[in-house]
Structure 1
Amino acid sequence: MAIVIQYVVEHKGVEKLVTTDKKAADQYDKMLDIADNLAQYLEAKGIKLDPQSMEEMTVMMAKNKTAIGKLFKGTPAETLLSDDSAEVVEMKQA
């Protein structure tokens, strides 16, 4: 019999990730914290979205924070979107 240590990342009471890799769990948890901070900031600045759309957008932004940082420095979006590592998320229309 083997003992397997699993790391479970929960967010707002929902299980989001189960892994045996502590580093991956920590990184995912940090990404979710960044997404929560982004959502709080956007809402405070008057951006009004339904909770699902806000979560999808802020998680996508947190996952792509390096690319978004490059956009602020003037890199064209086409350059970043042609990169295979860019995550594309289809937003659901309400």
Structure 2
Amino acid sequence: MAVEVCYKVVRDGVERMTFTSKKDADAYDKMLDIAEALETMLGEVDVPLSEQQNEALALEMAKRKDQFIAALKGGKPTPPNNKAKVTDIKKVS
């Protein structure tokens, strides 16, 4: 019998993702915190977005925060680092 350690990211009682690495789970949780803050900010802007659009845009911005930060600082955004993808993520349905 094998023992497998997994880390679950849970938001509002709903399991969002399962990871085999604590570091990856913490990074995903932080990304969700950023997306939540961005969603609040986007809700206050004078651009008509549906709730779904607001949530999707906030999540995409959080996923690419480094690129957005570079652009907001006036620099040229760097292309996404495709090598940094987490390979041990299991989506939870």
Query: What range describes the TM-score normalised by the shorter chain of this pair?
Result: 0.7 to 0.9
2: CA distance, partners of 1:64 / 1:84? 7
Paired residue for 2:60?
A: 60
Structure 2 residue matching 1:59: 3-state secondary structure: helix
What TM-score, normalized to structure 2?
Answer: 0.72
Q: Which residue of 2 aligns with 1:50?
A: 50
Residue 7 (structure 1) shift: 1.1
User: What percentage of aligned pairs have identical amino acids?
Assistant: 38
Which secondary structure state, in structure 1, belongs to the residue aligned with residue 16 of structure 2?
strand
CA distance in 1: counterparts of 2:13 and 2:50, whole angstroms = 19
Q: Which amino acid aligns with 1:50?
A: S
Match of residue 81, structure 2, among 77, 85, 90: 85
Task: Tell me which stretches of 4 or more aligned residues in structure 1 moved more than 4 Å.
Answer: none
Match of 2:16 in 1: 16
- SS of 2:10 mapped into structure 1: strand
Greater displacement, 39-48 / 58-67: 39-48
RMSD in angstroms over aligned alpha carbons? 2.1
TM-score (normalised: structure 1)? 0.71
Q: Which has the higher contact order (CA 8 A, sep 6+)?
A: 2
Runs of 5+ unmatched residues, structure 1: 87-94
Matched residue type, 2:25: A
User: Which amino acid in structure 1 is aligned with residue 6 of structure 2?
Assistant: Q
Question: Size of the alignment, in residue pairs?
Answer: 82
Alpha carbons of structure 1 residues 6 and 55: separation in structure 2 relative to 1, 3 Å:
same
